[in-house]
Amino acid sequence: MPFSANLGFLWADLSLPDAIRAAKKAGFDAVECHWPYETPVADIAAALQETGLPMLGLNTIRGDTAAGENGLSALPGREVEARAAIDQAIDYANAIGGQNIHVMAGFAQGSEADATFIDNLTYACAQAAPHGLTILIEPLNTYDAPGYHLQTTHKARQIIDAVAAPNLKLMFDCYHLQIMQGDLTRLLADCLPITGHIQFASVPDRGAPDQGEVNYSHIFRHIRALGWEVPLGAEYKPSGPTEATLEWLSDPTFTE
């Protein structure tokens, strides 16, 4: 099973180019990130070329983080900012050879927010399509992100159906969805046709996958049996130095 290092959490103490190099040294097959925009694209592109690792994805910006914002695309009245963030992400992804863009919805509820999110995603998909980019939407759990617009795969499917763009997919984060819905084995099978990327972390502490209430040795075997071949995103928070949390990466229980 191939794995991608999410550099929003792993090696967060390093510069992003050095984190890419650390991921390669540790044995990861790909990398992904959260918000790389303060790092010059040339530095990221050079590190990716040096290591040969693909960049699977990045996020649109959150907005005013000092005010607690966590995305813009479902916020009525913020369409100009939301679409600027989408354009920024597409430009950056193109410059580094990225594959997916997670368009962050933000904290908003109600029918107006639904319509705003659908309109902005329609824009994102149209802008991304000529570049071969996939747009992702991700349900977040109500403990870590109370009030986030998207919380379940049921609503994600409704949004994907409403936009009806072939390059709009679900980001299936096992951590968030175990908390919100559980029954990951059946949920993965049900959602795989609309899924563009899969991430994981232990529950409830969002640590490495060799602890907590989810049996990831089973989950990874199940994902492989479903025919999934894209690297799975290790988006967990290390309990110490990242290297000290990577025993699972060489454990055949998880990797074969």
Residue at token pair 């699977």: 56
| pTM for the full predicted model | 0.97
Angle at 201 between CA 200 and CA 207, to 5 degrees: 160
Average pLDDT of the residues of the chain: 97
Residue 249 predicted with pLDDT over 90: yes
Thinking of the domain 3-255, which architecture would CATH place it in? Alpha-Beta Barrel (3.20)
Catalytic: which of 32, 235, 243, 256?
235
Domain ranges for the chain, please list them: 3-255
Under the banding of pLDDT at 50, 70 and 90, the label for residue 256 is confident
Q: Which pair of structure tokens corresponds to residue 64?
A: 């005013």
* Amino acid, single-letter form, for residue 227: G
Q: How far is CA 31 from CA 7, 65, 73, 149, in A?
A: 7, 24, 25, 27
Residue 58 and residue 102 in contact, taking contact as beta carbons nearer than 8 Å = yes
Under the banding of pLDDT at 50, 70 and 90, the label for residue 212 is very high
pLDDT tens string 127-174: 999 999 999 999 999 999 999 999 999 999 999 999 999 999 999 999
In the chain, the percentage of residues whose pLDDT exceeds 90 is: 98
Under the banding of pLDDT at 50, 70 and 90, the label for residue 210 is very high
pLDDT tens string 86-118: 999 999 999 999 999 999 999 999 999 999 999
At residue 198, the pLDDT reads 98
* 137 phi and psi angles, rounded to 5 deg: -125, 145
Q: Which pair of structure tokens corresponds to residue 129?
A: 């399509």
Mean pLDDT of the region 235-241: 97
Residue 152 and residue 162 in contact, taking contact as beta carbons nearer than 8 Å = no
Mean pLDDT of the region 229-249: 97
Interstrand relation of 100-102 and 57-59 (parallel, antiparallel or unpaired): parallel
Residue 235 is among the residues annotated as catalytic for this protein: yes
Catalytic: which of 79, 112, 138, 243?
138
Q: Which pair of structure tokens corresponds to residue 6?
A: 């999410």
Report the 10 Å Cβ neighbour count for 216: 24
At residue 104, the pLDDT reads 98
Residue 69 is among the residues annotated as catalytic for this protein: no
